[in-house]
Amino acid sequence: MSKRDDAIARYEAIIAKFPDVERKGKANPYTSRNGNMFSFVGKDGGVALRLSAEQREQFLMKHNAALAVAYATVMKEYVAVPEHVLRNMRLMTKYFASSITYVSSLQAKPTTRKPTAKKSAAKKPAAKKAAKK
């Protein structure tokens, strides 16, 4: 099993402890609440959590961690979860819950999905045929 596959399996095990959280993203797993992403697994297999400023600083110091980097960009509110924390279910559950609490306090982002077209157009030709009779 690759490092990334192992990280995804551990990530999914943590998410499973939170029934109201849904894993999203097929190629790049992530979680979000109210349109705000709060965790993800990077292409390198690193797991990142979004924490409040105070919790982030404590996490970075306590676990000798760094800010997460994705696509060559430093993710300022995300910590890169070290391997020893990722393997500790109790710690990961605690930090994941903190991440949910923090992101739940943020203002919801409006959805960017485009509305889907209604499929009532297929019924119109049948209605025209009935009117011609």
Is residue 11 in some structural domain? yes
- The pLDDT of residue 84 is 96
Beta strand segments in the chain, E = 30-33, 36-41, 47-50, 66-70, 73-80
Residue 88 in any domain: the answer is yes
pLDDT of residue 41: 97
Mean pLDDT within 48-74: 97
**Residue 59 predicted with pLDDT over 70:** yes
Q: What local confidence, expressed as pLDDT, does residue 1 receive?
A: 81
Q: What is the pLDDT of residues 76-110, one digit of tens each?
A: 999 999 999 999 999 999 999 999 999 999 999 88
Is 31 inside any structural domain?
A: yes
Quote the domain boundaries for residue 63: 3-112
What residues does 111 pair with on adjacent strands? none
* CB 39 within 8 Å of CB 48: yes
Percentage above 70 pLDDT, the chain: 83
Helix, strand, coil in percent for the chain, rounding step 5: 45, 20, 35
Instruction: Please indicate, yes or no, if residue 122 is contained in any of the structural domains.
Output: no
Say how many domains are in the chain. 1
Q: CATH code at 94?
A: 3.90.1150.30
Q: What is the pLDDT of residue 55?
A: 97
The pTM assigned to this predicted structure is 0.80
Does the pLDDT of residue 132 top 60, yes or no? no
